[in-house]
Amino acid sequence: MQESTVTRENALFDVAVIGSGPGGYEAALHAARHGMKVCLVEKGPLGGTCVNWGCIPTKALLRSAEVYELVKNPTTFGVNVSGASFDIAQAVKRSRNVALKSSKAVDYMLRKAGVDVRQGDAVLTGGTRVLITAPDGVTSEIGAGSLIVATGARPRAIPGLEPDGNRVITSREALIMKEVPASLIVAGGGAIGVEMAWFYAKAGSKVTIVEMMPRLLPLEDAEISDALKRSFEKAGITVLCGARIENVQRGDSQVGVDIVADGAEPRRAEADYLLVAIGVTGSIDGVGLETAGVRTDRGFIVTDGQCRSSVPGIYAIGDVRGGMLLAHKASAEAAIAVEAIAGRSPEPLDETFIPRCVYSQPSVASVGLTEESAVKLGHSVNVGRALFAASGKANAYGQLEGLVKLVFDASDGRMLGGHLIGHDAVELIGELVLACRLGLTAQEFVMTVHAHPTLSETIRDAAFSALPGTH
């Protein structure tokens, strides 16, 4: 590139943000509210992966599958429906429209706030200067007082399981299928694998999940993971834990794999597609971090509690920073980084109080310590449980699966963790996050009036069962 082809802008922005996902656009909006002059650079559609290829379109597809599941079995509700079928093309079209509307909403908010939005690839050139290459090839360089890197994450490359976009796919291809595959193997039993497996099983695919760890959602409470496995198996999904995939053979119409469990002979399996959902790594390539001197470790930018990188003036938030790879964590970090830039001293984010959600049905939501982790940390615990099957609201809705599990410190009574599995259980997690953050006791839950009939009453029931003498 010739030096003369680069347009340099002398006007200095207070903050430049690279990436427009939940972390990036929240950071830009937060900085604009502080009266800062802000530039945001995004190479793709506004909203990043979450809005366009992750959280939002996935939930739209899951909703389509949920509606189809209800329509297939409506007679107990007094509704007669005949000839129901699943139109994945229409479901995909709806999910893409939902994503597009969400992306436009991000655009509207940014422009209304006065953020200078620029489309193109951004590369750090040293200090807090950024080279922007627009889609038409025109380049410009901007400067900023502070720079926030919010480039997100990309699927982790696993040797032998490299996606080809044909028979070995990622969640991106899974979101825009034109037909429901007859069969699908999902490598990975984390949130992405579980959600995609549930969607395609409900749409009509024969689905097998292969997870290397001993259980689905291996970071969640064992009791909750076991309940999800039972639910999935009841729904016809084959769940193989403590197993791995080897010897992938890609054909024109199918993919073949060996499924290897410890101490067992390899088992050959074939399917229309292999969906690889085995984690992600930070999107750090091609950003110019090495040129700028920004330190990275195992695919993520190294930061302190206020999201500051190893280079003064450069911050990192969201998935590229590592830790919990969640959209709402990125949004929280956005506020921390901007407050630090504004000269304040924001509290570092405590991941203990970040909710974790999986949106299959039953859905899973949790916050804080699991029972196992609490015991390992030396806590003596009181555990309360309550089944949704005892809830009048759950019975009215015909959704009886699942439970609430609350973990309290036996010495001082404060809540250490809360865990839910059930229909739309994710919508109940807010109360548990607040309770965990404030260290509420089981007695305080019990003394709080919960509306009747609601699913939230099951939280109160779980707390009541944790009180001494109620077991």
Active-site residues, by number, are 452
C-alpha 36/C-alpha 31 separation (Å) is 6
Burial label, 179 (beta-carbon count in 10 A; 0-12, 13-18, 19+): exposed
